[in-house]
Chain A
Amino acid sequence: MTEQTGPGSSYKTDVLISEDIETYLEQHQNKELLRFITCGSVDDGKSTLIGRLLYDSKMIFEDQLAALEADSKKSGTQGQEIDFALLVDGLAAEREQGITIDVAYRFFATEKRKFIVADTPGHEQYTRNMVTGASTADAAIILVDARKGVLVQTRRHSYLAHLLGIRNVILAVNKMDLVDFSQEIFDEIVEDYRQFSSEIGIDSFTAIPISGFRGDNITEAPSANTPWYSGPALIAHLENIPIAATAAQEKPFRMPVQWVNRPNLDFRGFSGLISSGSIKPGDPVRVVPSGKNSRVKSIVTLDGTLDEAVAGQSVTVTLEDEVDCSRGDVIAAAGDPPEVSDQFESTIVWMSDEALKPGRGYWLKLATQTVSASVYEPKYEINVNTMEHLAAKTLELNAIGVAEVHTDKPIVFEPYADSPELGGFILIDKITNATVAAGMLHFSLRRAANVHWQPTIITREEHALLKNQTPRVLWFTGLSGSGKSTIANEVEKSLNLMNRHTFLLDGDNVRHGLNKDLGFTEADRIENIRRVGEVAKLMTDAGLIVLTAFISPFRAERQMVRKMLPEAEFIEIFVDTPLEVAEARDVKGLYKKARSGKLKNFTGIDSPYEPPENPEIRVNTVEMTPAEAAEYIVRQIMPLK
């Protein structure tokens, strides 16, 4: 038998239960709920760890324990000791094989929180199960065997957790008892993990040395065996992780409508689970995709009407006006509604034995919308072990790829990173009705079909005429440190002296405001450029000459902006500086950070730069000073007027 937990444990205290049950119940009535996933294989001691959590929180009763002891002797792997793994390995078939092959959900509670644990198998052939478990998790425990360190599967688990948007990662270095609780070994593993986790975009994680078998650093830390450890015990850490549902309250209001509630002719309510934000009676809302506006009249529940409802609550809402609204629609904040589109870029996890058939019609279910959709041939498949992009014509079981998805009618969505509820979807085979894939929408490939253009009286020609100039976009592209901003400023100065009405959009500046929600992943970079393109276009509509200084590394996105504008208004200026030169300048010290791994997705280092093939203007900053380059550019564009 193992030792009981001592004082300081945050598990339920028997004393309070037996002596003051009312106080105990009061305390436990208002717990929070946290869902997490455990990633690892049987060999990492995953089932043992979960068994341990249940055991320590007294979720195992005596009769179960007796059965467990008997089972441990029969088929256990721990000799005469209790094999906690037997507690959680459920189905008969897999008990014989000794591996868990499905997603199992376990429950335990402390005084502060109730926990739902998704227990999934770690082998590669069960990627689909891990993705399923991760889809609802607030946190992921990545289990590593202290004797083996960071393995290929550790990478895979971390990547999948990150892919599904889990922001709280716990690196549990298990079986510390088998390496004599060595701090050196622990530190080495943590350093290894830090290296590659930052490569895949995991910004931070918490590392805890544990022994699931012996109980070290599970409920109390540091354990007697690890005096050198100064972090939290596993349970204490789980009790303090932020809960995604709470964070969602800060976002704009959205409620996918599940059901129209019509008990009689006088009542028409819309029922749904609020996916983000909050509402109060009187709040202006818009029904998307129809775009009809109204106000919240009341929030109706069996317990009476509410003054306010927040993300995570299931409610029924009535509106002031008789607007059309049915299942599949989204009721949203009027001032900040979600997008509507029918073409998307998405990441897809294939979950069926029958491979993806590009072009075939599947049912796509997203929130409460079900539409017919087809998936294009994947742009690439992602090797879940190495993160390499591989060419692919289809996706087989457990494969993950990036592909275009087209729906037969527009759907309401948000990028998955902003809203799993409006960005996550499943694909259903129309014949077998099986769930064949899960996907995450990243962005729309088309402007919303249902937003109508409102004509204005003063046209862009009149704006330009008043300023006596031809609006243009001077698009500076080049590596970081190539001199884009410096040269663009010089050009603007000259144009200003020539009484031209100009505006300079600078990459860094835009990221302080308009695009402060974007990072540096490929998808975010694309969105960054798309937004800048739209802003530049509005400014040319207003008659301005717009100068933009962005790395804008991808050809496709520069081409996208070019296409937004009337012909000849887009002037691509390639600030041509070899990488060695830009890196040697390193004005902002960014190259140094990127080389040391502190900065990821840095253009030229670990993210590609695609030089323009036919720029309107090219300036070579090795041969020219910024002033010379600017003068050259002005000379080139002046004849264009």
Chain B
Amino acid sequence: MDDPVTRILTHLERLEAEAIHIMREVLADAQKPVMMYSVGKDSAVLLHLAKKAFYPSAPPFPLLHVDTTWKFRDMYALREKAAQDAGMELIVHQNAEAKERGINPFDHGPLHTDMWKTEGLKQALDLHGFDVAFGGARRDEEKSRAKERIFSFRTASHGWDPKNQRPELWNLYNAKKAKGESIRVFPISNWTELDIWQYIMAENIEIVPLYFAAPRPTYIHEGGLFMADDLDRLEKTMGYKPEITTRSVRFRTLGCFPLTGAVESTASTLSEVVQEMLLTTTSERQGRIIDKDEGGAGMEKKKQEGYF
């Protein structure tokens, strides 16, 4: 007998093992699971973990992208490629009503997010009858998320009741639910932004190039710096042609291009991006406009209404 030699697992190895365990647990009770896929870096990590969890099988569920039609073109490109590489079906849902009414980030403010994202997600889940949806939310993103369970229960109308969530002990998850109810599952709840970047680096995960600095056409709108990913459309919607300046910029989070603030940067490699992230003094979500309304309780209110 050789001596037992303990091998100390790193924090990334343990976070990975936990996420894989969670994904596999979902399969035991779920009738029709789906993975919400936003094409961002957290989604990229989530997808990578799914591949690992079920290898050599392909992940036994489809990817769902709730599209707003306003995403960056680079995101649409990677979306198709990533699904194909993973051998997974890709479902793209666009809220038909939002499309018909021409809901856009400029004329409709918060309604844009509500209609395309919140309503769009509810529609997609109902339409396909998905009872469990994996999401890439993390507890460190925002104060109200710190108390979010890994298995988050939603009523038949997708509402979230913060007072009626199930305790999660050890690594035992209770995934039983009544007909009509659904669960959002967040396997990377315990990851921080730094963990995500370190993992992307260690595992060589492909992410949208927009995370790296490059000269891009930008404009200033209401004090924020944005990228003109589709200038014609911007002009059509805004009613005027914004003044374009080429700047070296990158993005810390990705969403709709007219809503996602760019940061001026020269960080063009992963380590430079992480370096910038560590030295920076503003939090990740600050680039996003949607969290700021409703004061400190903005995200919590959105969650109660069904935003994932």
Q: Do A and B bind each other?
A: yes
Q: A135-B169, A302-B55, A327-B28 are in contact. Are A33 and B17 (CB under 8 A)?
A: no
Give the distance to chain B from A200, nearest Cβ to Cβ, in Å: 21
Would you call B25 an interface residue if the criterion is a C-beta within 8 Å of the partner chain's C-beta atoms?
yes
> CA of A469 to CA of B37 in the docked complex: distance in angstroms?
77
Q: A31-B11, A63-B283, A302-B51 are in contact. Are A21 and B171 (CB under 8 A)?
A: no
Would you call B39 an interface residue if the criterion is a C-beta within 8 Å of the partner chain's C-beta atoms?
no
Contact A314 B20 (CB under 8 A): yes
Give the distance to chain A from B226, nearest Cβ to Cβ, in Å: 18
Would you call A271 an interface residue if the criterion is a C-beta within 8 Å of the partner chain's C-beta atoms?
yes
B-contacting residues, A1-55, CB 8 Å: 12, 14, 17-18, 21-22, 24-25, 28-33
A-contacting residues, B169-223, CB 8 Å: 169-172, 174, 176-178, 189-190, 192, 194-195, 198, 201-202
B-contacting residues, A260-299, CB 8 Å: 261-263, 267, 269, 271-273, 278
Contact A106 B146 (CB under 8 A): yes
Contact A267 B300 (CB under 8 A): no
Interface locus among A125-133, A142-150, A377-385, A511-519 = A125-133
Would you call B168 an interface residue if the criterion is a C-beta within 8 Å of the partner chain's C-beta atoms?
yes
Contact A61 B167 (CB under 8 A): no
Would you call B246 an interface residue if the criterion is a C-beta within 8 Å of the partner chain's C-beta atoms?
no
Contact residues in B for A21 (Cβ distance below 8 Å)? 271-272, 274-275
Residue of B nearest to A427 (CB): B174
Contact residues in B for A91 (Cβ distance below 8 Å)? 144, 147, 162, 300
Would you call A596 an interface residue if the criterion is a C-beta within 8 Å of the partner chain's C-beta atoms?
no
> Which of these, A102, A301, A425, contacts B55 with CB under 8 Å?
A301
Would you call B13 an interface residue if the criterion is a C-beta within 8 Å of the partner chain's C-beta atoms?
yes
Contact B14 A14 (CB under 8 A): no
Contact B167 A435 (CB under 8 A): yes
> CA of A22 to CA of B274 in the docked complex: distance in angstroms?
10
Contact B194 A109 (CB under 8 A): yes
Give the distance to chain B from A458, nearest Cβ to Cβ, in Å: 32
Contact B52 A302 (CB under 8 A): yes
Residue of A nearest to B164 (CB): A434
Interface 1/0 per residue, A349-389 and B, CB below 8 Å: 00100000000000101111010000000000000000000
Would you call A92 an interface residue if the criterion is a C-beta within 8 Å of the partner chain's C-beta atoms?
yes
A-contacting residues, B40-88, CB 8 Å: 51-58
B-contacting residues, A232-251, CB 8 Å: 243, 245-247, 249-250
Would you call B31 an interface residue if the criterion is a C-beta within 8 Å of the partner chain's C-beta atoms?
no
Q: A107-B192, A314-B16 are in contact. Are A132 and B168 (CB under 8 A)?
A: yes
Q: A30-B10, A433-B177 are in contact. Are A25 and B282 (CB under 8 A)?
A: no
Would you call A605 an interface residue if the criterion is a C-beta within 8 Å of the partner chain's C-beta atoms?
no
Would you call B127 an interface residue if the criterion is a C-beta within 8 Å of the partner chain's C-beta atoms?
no
Interface 1/0 per residue, B1-39 and A, CB below 8 Å: 000101111111111111011001101100000000000
> CA of A25 to CA of B201 in the docked complex: distance in angstroms?
10
Would you call B278 an interface residue if the criterion is a C-beta within 8 Å of the partner chain's C-beta atoms?
yes
Contact A421 B170 (CB under 8 A): yes
Give the distance to chain B from A586, nearest Cβ to Cβ, in Å: 41
Q: A245-B9, A420-B170, A426-B172 are in contact. Are A61 and B21 (CB under 8 A)?
A: no
A-contacting residues, B253-308, CB 8 Å: 271-272, 274-275, 278-283, 286, 296-297, 300-301
Contact A259 B27 (CB under 8 A): yes
Give the distance to chain B from A286, nearest Cβ to Cβ, in Å: 18
Would you call A500 an interface residue if the criterion is a C-beta within 8 Å of the partner chain's C-beta atoms?
no
Number of chain B residues close to chain A: CB under 8 A: 71
Contact A421 B169 (CB under 8 A): no
> Which of these, A104, A263, A365, contacts B56 with CB under 8 Å?
A263
Contact B24 A258 (CB under 8 A): yes
> Which of these, A12, A301, A365, A421, contacts B174 with CB under 8 Å?
A365
Contact B282 A61 (CB under 8 A): yes
Interface 1/0 per residue, A109-141 and B, CB below 8 Å: 100011010010000000011011001100000
> CA of A61 to CA of B141 in the docked complex: distance in angstroms?
12
Q: A91-B162, A105-B146, A136-B170 are in contact. Are A249 and B279 (CB under 8 A)?
A: no
Would you call A428 an interface residue if the criterion is a C-beta within 8 Å of the partner chain's C-beta atoms?
yes
Contact residues in B for A61 (Cβ distance below 8 Å)? 280-283, 286
Contact A314 B21 (CB under 8 A): yes
> CA of A273 to CA of B21 in the docked complex: distance in angstroms?
6
Give the distance to chain B from A246, nearest Cβ to Cβ, in Å: 5
Interface 1/0 per residue, A63-75 and B, CB below 8 Å: 1100100010000
Would you call A347 an interface residue if the criterion is a C-beta within 8 Å of the partner chain's C-beta atoms?
no
Would you call A201 an interface residue if the criterion is a C-beta within 8 Å of the partner chain's C-beta atoms?
no
Contact B25 A258 (CB under 8 A): yes
Contact residues in B for A247 (Cβ distance below 8 Å)? 6
Would you call A313 an interface residue if the criterion is a C-beta within 8 Å of the partner chain's C-beta atoms?
yes
Would you call B233 an interface residue if the criterion is a C-beta within 8 Å of the partner chain's C-beta atoms?
no
B-contacting residues, A304-349, CB 8 Å: 308, 310, 312-314, 316, 327
> CA of A312 to CA of B275 in the docked complex: distance in angstroms?
30
> CA of A278 to CA of B3 in the docked complex: distance in angstroms?
12
Contact A434 B279 (CB under 8 A): no
Would you call B140 an interface residue if the criterion is a C-beta within 8 Å of the partner chain's C-beta atoms?
yes
> Which of these, B7, B57, B143, contacts A310 with CB under 8 Å?
B7
> Which of these, A106, A114, A313, A366, contacts B17 with CB under 8 Å?
A313
Give the distance to chain A from B198, nearest Cβ to Cβ, in Å: 6
Would you call A88 an interface residue if the criterion is a C-beta within 8 Å of the partner chain's C-beta atoms?
yes
Contact A25 B198 (CB under 8 A): yes
Contact A135 B14 (CB under 8 A): no
> Which of these, A250, A272, A435, contacts B6 with CB under 8 Å?
A250
Give the distance to chain B from A262, nearest Cβ to Cβ, in Å: 7
Contact B12 A107 (CB under 8 A): no
Give the distance to chain A from B161, nearest Cβ to Cβ, in Å: 11
> CA of A278 to CA of B6 in the docked complex: distance in angstroms?
9
Give the distance to chain A from B173, nearest Cβ to Cβ, in Å: 8
Would you call A578 an interface residue if the criterion is a C-beta within 8 Å of the partner chain's C-beta atoms?
no
Q: A21-B272, A135-B169 are in contact. Are A109 and B192 (CB under 8 A)?
A: yes
Contact residues in A for B11 (Cβ distance below 8 Å)? 31-33, 113-114
Contact A104 B147 (CB under 8 A): yes
Q: Which residue among B58, B146, B176 has the maximum number of chain A CB atoms within 10 Å of its CB?
A: B146
Contact B53 A107 (CB under 8 A): no
Contact A313 B167 (CB under 8 A): no
Would you call B122 an interface residue if the criterion is a C-beta within 8 Å of the partner chain's C-beta atoms?
no
Contact residues in B for A250 (Cβ distance below 8 Å)? 4, 6
Would you call A565 an interface residue if the criterion is a C-beta within 8 Å of the partner chain's C-beta atoms?
no
Contact residues in B for A12 (Cβ distance below 8 Å)? 278
> Which of these, A64, A105, A434, contacts B283 with CB under 8 Å?
A64
Contact residues in B for A316 (Cβ distance below 8 Å)? 55-56
Contact residues in A for B16 (Cβ distance below 8 Å)? 314
Would you call A222 an interface residue if the criterion is a C-beta within 8 Å of the partner chain's C-beta atoms?
no
User: Could you list which residues of chain B lie within 8 angstroms of chain A, going by C-beta atoms?
Assistant: 4, 6-18, 20-21, 24-25, 27-28, 51-58, 139-140, 143-144, 146-147, 162-163, 165-172, 174, 176-178, 189-190, 192, 194-195, 198, 201-202, 271-272, 274-275, 278-283, 286, 296-297, 300-301
User: Nearest 8 pairs between A and B by C-beta?
Assistant: A62-B281, A314-B20, A61-B283, A33-B11, A21-B275, A263-B57, A92-B297, A433-B176
Chain A to chain B contacts (Cβ below 8 Å), 14 pairs: A29-B10, A29-B198, A88-B143, A107-B192, A113-B11, A128-B167, A272-B24, A301-B55, A303-B52, A314-B21, A314-B53, A316-B56, A367-B172, A420-B170
User: Could you list which residues of chain A lie within 8 angstroms of chain B, going by C-beta atoms?
Assistant: 12, 14, 17-18, 21-22, 24-25, 28-33, 59, 61-64, 67, 71, 87-88, 90-93, 95, 102-107, 109, 113-114, 116, 119, 128-129, 131-132, 135-136, 243, 245-247, 249-250, 258-259, 261-263, 267, 269, 271-273, 278, 300-303, 308, 310, 312-314, 316, 327, 351, 363, 365-368, 370, 420-421, 424-426, 428, 433-435, 438
18 extra A-B contacts, CB within 8 A, seeds A63-B282, A259-B27, A271-B54: A17-B279, A28-B194, A33-B11, A93-B163, A102-B165, A104-B139, A114-B11, A114-B192, A243-B8, A258-B28, A261-B57, A278-B4, A300-B56, A314-B52, A316-B55, A370-B28, A424-B172, A438-B169
